[in-house]
Structure 1
Amino acid sequence: MQKRKITKSAVTNIFRFVSCHKPDSVTVEGYNEFIACHYFEFSPLVVDFEAQPQKFAFPIEGTNRPLIYTPDFLVRLHNQQEVYFEIKPHDITLTDKFSQRWALLQKTFADRDLRLELVTDRQLKRGEMAENLKLAHRYMNCAPNTAEQENILKLISKSPISVSSLSQQLQLQESVTISYLLNLVTKKQLSFPLYAPLDSNTVFHRPPPVIECNMDKVFEQIFPVPDHIIHDELKEVFRKEVKQHLDDADSYEHLDALPEREREQAIFRWKVLSKVSGLCNGVLSNQRLASIYNELETEFAEKTPSISSIKRWAKIYDASGRSIKALSPNISERGNKTHRLSIEMEELIQQALDRIKDTKSGAISSAYSYLQHLVFQFNQRSGLKLKAPSIQTFWVRFNKISPYEMAVKCNGKFKAAKEFKNIAEMVKTNRLLERVEIDHTQLDFFVVEKESFIPLGRPWVTTLCDVHSRSVLGFYIGFTPPSFVSVARALKHALLPKDYVLSRYPDIKNSWLCFGKPELIVSDNGKEFDDRDFKLALSKLLINSGKNPTATPYLKPVVERYFGKLNSELLRAHPGHTLATLKRSKDYNPAKNAVVDMDRLLHIVHIWICDIHQAGPNSRRDRIPNLTWVKALDKFAPVQHNYDAEELNLIFCRTLTGKLRQNGVEFKRLQYSCDASAELRGRVGDHQVTYKKVPWGSGLAFCHALSKSTLGSQKT
Structure 2
Amino acid sequence: MSLANLTVGERFTTKGRDYEIIEEKKHDVFKVKDLMDNVIITFTRKEIVTLLMEGKLEFSRDGKNAEGEYVKTYPFNDLSLLPEKVEKDMRFRFMAIEPLISLDVKNMNPYIMNRVEQLKNDGITGVSRSSLYRWYKAYKESGNEMYSLISSFHKCGSKDNRLQREVEIIIDEMIEKHYKKGERKTIKDLHLLVYHKIDEKNKLRSYENRLFHPSISTLSRRIKGKDQYEIEKARKGEMAANKKHGFVTIQEKTKYPLQRVEADHTRLDIFLVDDETRLPIGRPYITKLIDCFTGYPLGMYIGFEHPSYTTIMHAMKHAFFPKYYLKEKYPSIQNEWVAYGIPETLVVDRGKDFTSKHLEHACKELNINLVHCPPRKPWWKGTIERHFRTHNQQFIHQAYGTTFSNILDKGEYDPRKHAVIGFKRFLEMYHKWVVDIYGMDINKGVKGVPSLIWKKAFENKPLPGYPKKALDWEVKLMKLGHGTIQNYGVKTQYLYYQSKELRSLRNKLNNPNDKIQFKYDPTNLGKIYVYDEFDNRYIEAYCTEPAYANGLNEYTHKIIYKNARKDVNDVNISALAASKAQLQEQQEEEKETTLTKRLQYERSKGTGSDKELKEETNKEAYKQETEFLDSSVNDKRQEDKKAKQNQKAIALFESEEDDWGFLDVNG
* Band of TM-score, shorter chain: 0.3 to 0.5
**Could you say which structure has the larger radius of gyration?**
1
Q: What is the TM-score normalised by the length of structure 1?
A: 0.42
Q: What is the TM-score normalised by the length of structure 2?
A: 0.44
Structure showing greater relative contact order (alpha-carbon pairs closer than 8 Å, 6 or more residues apart): 2
